[in-house]
Structure 1
Amino acid sequence: MTQASVNVVGEVVGAIDEPGVLVLLGVTPADTQRQAEVLAEKIWNLRMLEDEASCASTNAPLLVVSQFTLYGDVRKGRRPSWTKAAGRDHSEPLYEYFVEYLRKLGARVETGVFGAEMEVSLVNSGPFTLIVDTDDLPA
């Protein structure tokens, strides 16, 4: 990704203007702080940038945006179900913990506004997109 930004009510609240990573973070009711740590470490160290570099090795920035719709279930009917997405009381603290843990690792992190109606813009190189699920990572 070469550029990304988040707008809330016409105002840019988070932006990256250089190669980095846009993280759309979804949270389930079963997710834990330990899983957030493992996920943050994985994303921070994953060699997914140009020349197999990582955010950690290049100090590339991350833009982290809460995205409960990642857990939308469309298998039944014509309307998505959000039953697999955690409610705000669980997901907001875990989202904030994830962001702070990335910063503790040394990451430069921009964010959206949790729960806000956001407009997310992205210039994707490649395109290159990964799904990283904590269910697929070691505990």
Structure 2
Amino acid sequence: MSFLLGEYDCKLDAKGRLMIPADLKKQLPGVEGEGLVILRGFEKQLTIYTKKEWENTVNDLSKLNQYDRKSRDFVRFFTRGAMGLSLDAAGRVLLPKALLDYAGISNEVIVACQLNKIELWAPAAYDELMNSIPDDFAAMAEQVMGSAGRRDDD
């Protein structure tokens, strides 16, 4: 899969439906037929996967030791509330109310692409996160990326 790009300010309609932005929809070939999967994120946001990426994620989860309590608990918390989403004829998805409530999303939502997934955020929560840039972002990059960020031609 190619990685997803973009950040979009969107509005939900009165029924809680999100119109997938046209630019994002172009990056999701086959989504009309396959659908998407939505679940709670690690922070107070929602995460959307394509069906293929969800299958890859579930495949990783299935490799965890089912006899280990931490692994079982992780799977339970991670998959809690996961649901399939289908696009309607107008290119909208109905977002589950319980998940919207979890993320504090009402009528406005930030749709932020994060490599192989899409995050949905309440605008205030997203702004708070994005405005809390570490004082030394370069040091964070070095710590997180290490040599993974180095190219052969450096």
Same fold at TM > 0.5: no
Bigger helix fraction: 2
The TM-score, its normalising length taken from structure 1, stands at 0.24
State which structure, 1 or 2, has the greater radius of gyration over its C-alpha atoms. Answer: 2
TM-score (norm: length of structure 2): 0.22
Which of the pair has the greater relative contact order for Cα pairs under 8 Å at 6+ separation?
Answer: 1
